[in-house]
Amino acid sequence: MKKALFILLLFTGTSAGAQLGINVEATLDTNEMRIGEQTTLRIKIRYQRTNVLKIEWPRFNDTIIKGIEIVKTGRFVDAPRSKGNKVDYIQSRDFVITSFDEGNYLIPSLRFILNNDSNQYVETNPLPLRVKTVDVDTTADFKDIKPPIHEPLTFEDLALYVWITAGLAAAALVFFLVRRYLKNKKQMYALADRSRPAHEIALNALEKLKKEKMWKKGKDDTKEHHTRVSEIVRTFLERSFGINAMEMPTYDILTEVEKLSISRESKNVLRLVLHLTDMVKFAKEVPTDLQNEVVVDDAVKFVKANIPKPVAGEQEDEKR
């Protein structure tokens, strides 16, 4: 099958892309495939947050267009990329697509709305895709189907089947028992964690992380240090405020936090923590020793400032 890589840079008719410093790259792994085969549509947007605060992607259900179905939608990524003193942000997502109808298709322009303004947008150029059927030689004669060849079953064959069956049964039993043990153990830990307040779990985890000082061990451990700070804070946000922070990019988290009734100082501290951890995780920034320590202190500060206050009934129970 012929393979080709289509890369088309897109700009809007209103020149919003050039004005706002944003460009989009759309690619197809191949422009030609047989019925039932799969290819990947890849979309990548490079932008600067000084100009673009929000990008609204087109929404798909289970098809791109009639005849082209989406098999799998990849994970959405929104992460910074540093180049010298310049920091760009990249959003990307892959779509695995297929088709069961022969023909020449044209994936239309995909429009991305910028900053909640329908007059500001960027669009892709159309992408051609040819789907062809399996070649069949209609001039050849029909041939009879040959019957399977049966060989006599020997004692060695029978013994082998018995051993294989017994081995699979034993493996299945071990797998079942181990899985059941781990499941019960995980449920016990989950129940124990749910019985503890979110801020207590977060503060204990941050205290332990601060004592480890894993960032002193090397570059990879520094990245792990900041990853764990980010995960602890995001988990605290989920349990305390109901924000699905573990599955959201930093920009969306901060947007949701703006809606909360917490102090402006807390919001600014959270912004600093998540921005630094993102830069270390995704942009390969090398933080100073002071930054490695301060990011934990800021996370502790944010958690302590947002410990939920007990209601009147709980306060009376504590006094008793």
Side-chain-side CA neighbours of residue 192 (13 Å): 7
Contacts of 224 (CB under 8 A, 6+ apart): 214
Backbone angles phi, psi at 244, to 5 degrees: -75, 60
Q: Are 27 and 7 in contact (CB under 8 A)?
A: yes
Please report where in the chains the tokens 């989009």 appear, as a residue: 24
Backbone Cα Rg of the chain: 28
pTM for this one?
0.41
CA–chain centroid gap for 139, Å, is 51
Distance (Å) of CA 168 to CA 73, 173, 182, 212: 35, 9, 21, 44
Rounded-to-integer distance, Cα 210 and Cα 216, Å: 11
What letter does residue 67 receive in the DSSP assignment? Answer: T
Percent helix, strand and coil across the chain, each to the nearest 5? 45, 25, 30
**Phi, psi dihedral angles at 191 (to 5 degrees):** -65, -40
What residue has token string 């009376």?
316
Q: Are strands 63-65 and 77-83 parallel, antiparallel or unpaired?
A: unpaired
In the prediction, which pLDDT does 147 show?
A: 76
Please report the pLDDT score of residue 118 as a whole number.
86
How many whole angstroms separate alpha carbon 16 and alpha carbon 22? 8
User: Beta partners for 78?
Assistant: 91
Per-residue pLDDT of the chain (320 residues; tens, 9 = 90+): 433 333 333 333 344 666 777 888 889 999 999 999 999 999 999 888 888 888 999 988 899 999 999 999 999 888 888 776 677 888 999 999 999 999 999 999 899 999 888 888 888 888 999 999 877 666 766 666 777 777 777 777 778 878 888 888 888 888 888 877 676 555 444 444 566 899 999 999 999 999 998 888 888 889 999 999 999 999 999 998 999 998 899 999 999 999 999 999 999 999 999 999 999 888 888 889 999 899 999 999 999 999 877 654 444 444 44
Alpha helix ranges (H) inside 73-134: none
Q: Where are the extended beta strands (E) located within the chain?
A: 6-10, 23-28, 32-34, 38-47, 55-56, 63-65, 68-73, 77-83, 86-98, 103-107, 111-114, 117-123, 127-132
